[in-house]
Structure formats: C-alpha cells, structure tokens
Structure 1
C-alpha cells in the first residue's frame, strides 16, 4: 500500500513540474506580454516591475525542488502555497472584474476565469493530497 501511495505523490509531483515549467517557459518566451498583462491587473499593477520575474523564478524553483527526494516535501509545500495564492487571486478577480487578460501563457491562457478557478482549486487539492501522503509515507517507520 505504501508503494502505491508514493506513486501517487510522484505522479502529482511530475504533473506540477510539467505545469510550472510549461507556465514559466511560456511566460518567459513572451515576457513583455506577460509583464503588460500583470500591469493591466488593478490588483498587481503596482508590482509589475518585479512580480513577473519573481513568478517565473518561483515556478522554476518549485519545479526544481520537486525533482529531488530530499527537497520534494519543500517543493510540495511551495506548490501548495503558490497554487493557493493563484486560486485566491483568481477568485478575487472573478468577484471584481471579468475582462482582464490572463497572464498564464500558452494553453492555460485559453481558459475562462471560471475554468481557471476550478483548475487552480484542483491543483490545490492535488498538492494537499501529495503533501499529506508524502508526509505520512515517506518517513521511515519508527
């Protein structure tokens, strides 16, 4: 049973690695557009000078942490926190304004804000599942 649960953790970790690397690379490839979209947000425009670079670096950093067993738990915590922030931001935008450009990049950019909210909530749930399984089953038995 333990092996199956750890496979779930690995699968979710690989999904998050792919998601964050894909998102970061698409943002990086069209950085000016990403920066413009961030500055178009009434909630983020004051941070548009440093936030785009910070988001890309954090996405790559979390993906990197998830690649190694010793840093996997830290990566899962980071992915949970980042997806929670993205989910909160999306929910706030849905409640305040509906005509803002999405700054996710690539295929994710094609989603509506409502679809983004559900997708992000799903990612938060996956992060919680992976983190709880990882904490429970990856430690040596006492």
Structure 2
C-alpha cells in the first residue's frame, strides 16, 4: 500500500471516530459532564473538559479531512489520543469503579479493551506521521 493511501485511510478513520465521539458527547452533554465529574483525575476541571474535548474532536476531524490541514490534524489527533490513552491508563490504575460516557460500539468495550483500542489508534496516527515525513519536512 502506498504511503499516501495509508495516511489518507488513517485520517478518514480517525475523522469518523472523532466526529462520532464529539457529536455523541455534545448530544449527551449532561451525561458526559457527569462522567467527567465522577473521574478521580478530572473532577476538578470537569466543566471545562466537558466543553472543550467534544469541540476539539470535531475541529480536529475537520482538519483531517482538508488536505491542506491534514498534517496539523494528524499531529493534533495524535496528541489527543496520547492524552486519552494516558487518562484511561490512569483511571485503570487509580480506580476500580469507572463510569463511561462513550457511545455505541465504544460503550460495549471494557476499559482495558478501550485502552488497547486507543493504543492501536495512536500507533496508526504515529505511523501516518512517520510515513509522511520527508528528510527535512513533512509531506502529508
């Protein structure tokens, strides 16, 4: 598979993921905010996180769709996924009772499965960024 095709496939998969999760978090804002408030890690910043995360997910998904902003979108998505993965890892270490505000397919995953899913998505984004690199610049 050509590098460009791989990068584009990953960009569109992450776009679908971020659009879906961002829209679901906005549609179910009260539930998402409650879940974040229940978190042992984010409870003190729950109102801000509940507003910012879904908007960022939607904005990043739009960056990924536009070829001129795809590089920025890949980096932003990678950083967000690293953050989400660290957050889930922290939750698994700190708490035995974990609420989830994920919707649809993601809701049916255990937290351990969600962690693995996030690691895979993060690795795909990292591979896309790596494959898009040129010697002195990024060609994504």
* TM-score interval for Structure 1 and Structure 2 normalised by the shorter chain: over 0.9
Residue of structure 2 aligned with 1:18, choices 12, 16, 20: 16
Please list every run of 5 or more consecutive structure 1 residues that lacks an aligned counterpart in the other structure.
Answer: none
Q: Deviations over 1:31-82 (max 9, x none)?
A: 1111100000011110111111100111011101111111111000001000
User: Residue 139 of structure 2 aligns with which residue?
Assistant: 139
Q: Please give the alpha-carbon distance, in whole angstroms, between the structure 2 residues aligned to 1:5 and 1:105.
A: 32
Query: Counterpart of 1:98?
Result: 96
- C-alpha deviation, 1:10, in angstroms: 0.3
Aligned length: 138
TM-score by length of 1: 0.91
In 1, Cα distance between equivalents of 2:47 and 2:75: 26
**How many Å separate the matches in 2 of 1:41 and 1:91?**
13
- 1:51 corresponding residue in structure 2: 49
SS for the counterpart of 2:24 is: helix
Q: Which runs of 5+ in 2 are unaligned?
A: none
With the length of structure 2 as denominator, give the TM-score of the two structures. Answer: 0.92
Instruction: Tell me the equivalent position of 2:32.
Output: 34
Q: Matches of 2:57 and 2:73 in 1, distance apart?
A: 10
